[in-house]
Amino acid sequence: MIQKLSEKNKDFFDQVYDVVRLIPQGRVTSYGAIANYLGTKSGARMVGWAMNAAHVLPDVPAHRVVNRNGMLTGKMHFAHENEMERLLKVENIAIENDQVLNFKLLFWDPIIELEL
DNA sequence: AGCATGACGAACA
DNA sequence: GTGTTCGCCATGC
């Protein structure tokens, strides 16, 4: 289904997608980190909302975005529940109990990585 | 306008 | 470390 988006939201979505596409393979980040990078510090939920809409775009690695705990909260939103975990495992990211192992180590923060 | 919900996060007990 | 509560902002009823 196509959602009607205001200009403001379209811009926000675009920024979110742009950042998500920059996440290196084998790395992960959080909704809050993206939100913070975009300036909408408290807009983590909006990022999650954007990911839900991003679901239709093939080039947005939404599986690399997890919540602050490294938990795969969005796995249920993929075509199949195991899809998110499977995609992460392909990138050598270990998953256990719906959670990314060594999350802190694999964490990719746009504020730090894209700093300059 | 009010109320409930959500791929979240931080503060607090 | 776990469970609860509140803030956040957009959407839907």
pLDDT tens for the 116 residues of chain A, in order: 435 566 667 789 999 999 999 999 999 999 999 999 999 988 999 999 999 999 888 899 999 999 999 999 999 999 998 999 999 999 999 999 999 999 999 999 999 988 76
Token digits for A71? 């938990």
Domain boundaries of chain A, sorted by first residue: 7-111
Res A6: pLDDT: 67
Is the CATH code 3.30.497.10 the one for domain A7-111?
Answer: no
Q: What is the DSSP letter of A108?
A: -
- Tell me the three-class secondary structure of A54-102, residue by residue: HCCCCCCCHHHEECCCCECCCHHHCCCHHHHHHHHHHCCCCEECCEECC
Q: Is the CB of A50 under 7 A from strand C?
A: no
pTM for this predicted structure: 0.90
CA of A45: nearest nucleotide by C1' is: B8
Res A2: pLDDT: 39
* DSSP letter string, A2-30: PPP--HHHHHHHHHHHHHHHTSPTT-BEE
How far does the CA of A2 sit from the C1' of B8, in Å? Answer: 24
State the nearest residue by CA to the C1' of C7: A42
